[in-house]
Structure 1
Amino acid sequence: MNVIGAAAVAVQVGGVVAGAPLLCGLMRQVRARLEGRAGAGVGQPWRDLRKLLRKEAVTSLGTGPVFRAAPVLLVATTGVVAALVPLASTDMVVSGSSDLIVVVALLALGTVTLALAGLDSGTAFGGMGASREMTLAALVEPTILVSVFALSLPTGSTNLPAIVSGALFDPDRLVSPAGLLATAALAVAVLAETGRLPVDNPSTHLELTMVHEAMVLEYAGPDLALVELGAQMRLTVLLGLLASLFAPWGIATTASAGALVMGLAVCAGKVALLGAALAAAEVFWAKLRLFRVPELLAGSFLLSLLAVTASYFLSGA
């Protein structure tokens, strides 16, 4: 069991690292096709990372250790989250530590680290992006916490593998009012956490609209490659978390190599389907004005609170 559990952790982390650029390439290709363009291909993000890794590392004058350590910390925290979240299997050696609060704290740590790096650069864009990012994070992180907490009430635990296992054996809770409200709330939170439309546009560099890009304008070479990889990994992990919580079918629940391989394949398919659906939706979405984004996130937080209330009354009944 320990060998399979350790293999499950390695498979999940390796799958996220290797598959995150491919997911972004798939999303770009879907958008290109829907917009009438040929697209650069699914493997283009990997080629971009390889090109950046070959360049010389350039650091702006006046930056401190926070600026240099932020890309590594972003990838490291996201890698730990990929090991904790039950993407392919619920039977892992770290299942006892896969707590909801730990996962949200690690996501918040990566966000704060990148915001501090934006401030450390000493540029106007870096400070602006950091300010906007922390404004969004103040609404996004509680929404993720509360929406998943709504699913934990019937289980009686905030352990993510326990929540997923409970949903597998009692799928009716996923189509209950609490489950549907939590799904909607978490979906909006994922869009904001990963900087996607309509909250943020990852392909723009206009100072009036960019949030995430403003914090990383001073990075170049291998540091920029790590930042890009970290952002792609966060998108993959959060889409995987959304799929595992609300469509947990196919996840391995036993210490079996065959079940683990099947779980990884099913997880990759679900994440690819969610990514393609998100890319298709972004074609028809326009970015919200910055002052309208808190209204959207406040609405998602209200949905998560309603999900907790509904889950509480349904579990009491």
Structure 2
Amino acid sequence: MVMGVIGAVLQVIVVVAGAPLLVGVMRQVRARLEGRAGAGVWQPWRDLRKLMRKEPITPHGTGWVFRVAPLLLAGTTLVVAAAVPLVTTASPMDGVADLFAVTALLALGSVALALGGLDTGTAFGGMGASREMTVLALVEPTILVSTFALSIRVGSTSLGTIVTATVQDPLTVISPASLLAAVALAIVTIAETGRIPVDNPSTHLELTMIHEAMVLEYAGPDLALVEWASAMRLSVLLGLLSSLFFPLGIAGADAGVLALLVAVIALVAKVGVLGVVLAVGEVFMAKLRLFRVPELLAGSFLLALLAVAASFFLA
């Protein structure tokens, strides 16, 4: 139990400290591939420090929803970071690390930010919130169904149990159900974190932006918290994707301190590689038209359903 607590704390520390660095690495990779020098991997941390020093500004007419949304977004992300098996499968929050609970926490953060955008009463806020809810309605069922396909062979919806079973039998990763679920989860991870081709995190073009439209009215520490939470969600989802399908290095229930340190290094390496691959893909892909995004997400949901069918019929 003690090692489980230490592992959960390490997960949170790695996610909190490493998430801005992951964003910096991805921006730097994109800059290099596009022939630019780039601002450096530490630029997101410098941006957060600058925003934290500014005076908080609240738009006229907004209420407590606007102020609470960044806190709720960051809080749910931290709970997910502590609960899901990123470094260890023996987290004391294993009871919370249920498939349905984790998905609900992710959805709660997205809904809170959408309500914050609506609370501003601006056209951009309402437009971004509407688009975010459309994406959310297609993303969350896919996360549930694709991960449920992995839970069928285990007989449990606990993410820790699923990862433990994969560690004990790594060949299950190359099964049709796992491959279909992996593709579906990869697509919805891109959509959930607002990356190309679903959304462009570096644009402010009103015809295309989704996430940025909801946070245009935030400034100072509130904006820093939103940006920090968004980076942490990206890190957690990439980490969860790597844990479910490539759980190399994850510490078990009887692991010691050395195993936890190795697991941290493995997590950083796996998430870093996935982040670089995602950044490289963004350079060579164009953003989809907004009305094409539901088609992409519906396709990912179909893949998740096929993964469930394969789990039953090919078991």
Superposition TM-score, scaled by structure 2 size? 0.99
Per-residue deviation at 1:314? Answer: 2.1
* Structure 2 equivalent of residue 157 of structure 1: 156
SS in 1 for 2:74: helix
The answer to whether the 8 Å contact 1:91/1:255 transfers is no
Per-residue deviation at 1:313? Answer: 1.3
* Structure 2 equivalent of residue 211 of structure 1: 210
Report the Cα distance in structure 2 between the residues aligned to 1:231 and 1:92, rounded to whole angstroms.
Answer: 23
* Structure 1 equivalent of residue 132 of structure 2: 133
Report the Cα distance in structure 2 between the residues aligned to 1:311 and 1:87, rounded to whole angstroms.
Answer: 24
Per-residue deviation at 1:97? Answer: 2.5
SS in 1 for 2:314: helix
Equivalent residue letter for 1:312: F
* Structure 2 equivalent of residue 72 of structure 1: 71
* Structure 2 equivalent of residue 95 of structure 1: 94
Report the Cα distance in structure 1 between the residues aligned to 2:5 and 2:130, rounded to whole angstroms.
Answer: 39
Indicate the percent of aligned positions where both proteins have the same amino acid: 68
* Structure 1 equivalent of residue 275 of structure 2: 275
* Structure 1 equivalent of residue 193 of structure 2: 194
* Structure 2 equivalent of residue 292 of structure 1: 292
Report the Cα distance in structure 2 between the residues aligned to 1:143 and 1:43, rounded to whole angstroms.
Answer: 34
Report the Cα distance in structure 2 between the residues aligned to 1:108 and 1:226, rounded to whole angstroms.
Answer: 18
Report the Cα distance in structure 2 between the residues aligned to 1:123 and 1:69, rounded to whole angstroms.
Answer: 18
Report the Cα distance in structure 2 between the residues aligned to 1:9 and 1:287, rounded to whole angstroms.
Answer: 36
Q: Identify which range, 42-51 or 85-94, moves more after superposition.
A: 85-94
Give 1:1-317 correspondences, 5 Å limit: 2-253=1-252, 254-315=254-315
Summarize deviations over 1:235-290 as a string: whole Å, max 9, x none: 00000000000101110013311111110110110000000000000000100000
Summarize deviations over 1:141-198 as a string: whole Å, max 9, x none: 0001111110001100000010001011111211011011000000000000000000
SS in 1 for 2:274: helix
Report the Cα distance in structure 1 between the residues aligned to 2:4 and 2:172, rounded to whole angstroms.
Answer: 27
Per-residue deviation at 1:94? Answer: 1.4
Equivalent residue letter for 1:296: L
The answer to whether the 8 Å contact 2:96/2:102 transfers is no
Report the Cα distance in structure 2 between the residues aligned to 1:95 and 1:59, rounded to whole angstroms.
Answer: 38
Per-residue deviation at 1:4? Answer: 1.2
Q: Tell me how many residue pairs correspond in the alignment.
A: 314
Report the Cα distance in structure 1 between the residues aligned to 2:240 and 2:53, rounded to whole angstroms.
Answer: 33
Per-residue deviation at 1:138? Answer: 0.2
The answer to whether the 8 Å contact 1:90/1:251 transfers is yes
Report the Cα distance in structure 2 between the residues aligned to 1:238 and 1:216, rounded to whole angstroms.
Answer: 21
Summarize deviations over 1:76-114 as a string: whole Å, max 9, x none: 000000011100111121123310100000000000000
SS in 2 for 1:95: coil
Equivalent residue letter for 1:135: T
The answer to whether the 8 Å contact 2:154/2:165 transfers is yes
The answer to whether the 8 Å contact 1:56/1:222 transfers is yes
Q: Which runs of 4+ in 1 moved over 3 A?
A: none
Which structure 1 segments of 5+ residues have no match? none
Report the Cα distance in structure 2 between the residues aligned to 1:168 and 1:313, rounded to whole angstroms.
Answer: 23
Report the Cα distance in structure 1 between the residues aligned to 2:135 and 2:268, rounded to whole angstroms.
Answer: 28
Equivalent residue letter for 2:235: T
Which structure 2 segments of 5+ residues have no match? none
Alignment RMSD: 0.6
Report the Cα distance in structure 2 between the residues aligned to 1:147 and 1:42, rounded to whole angstroms.
Answer: 33
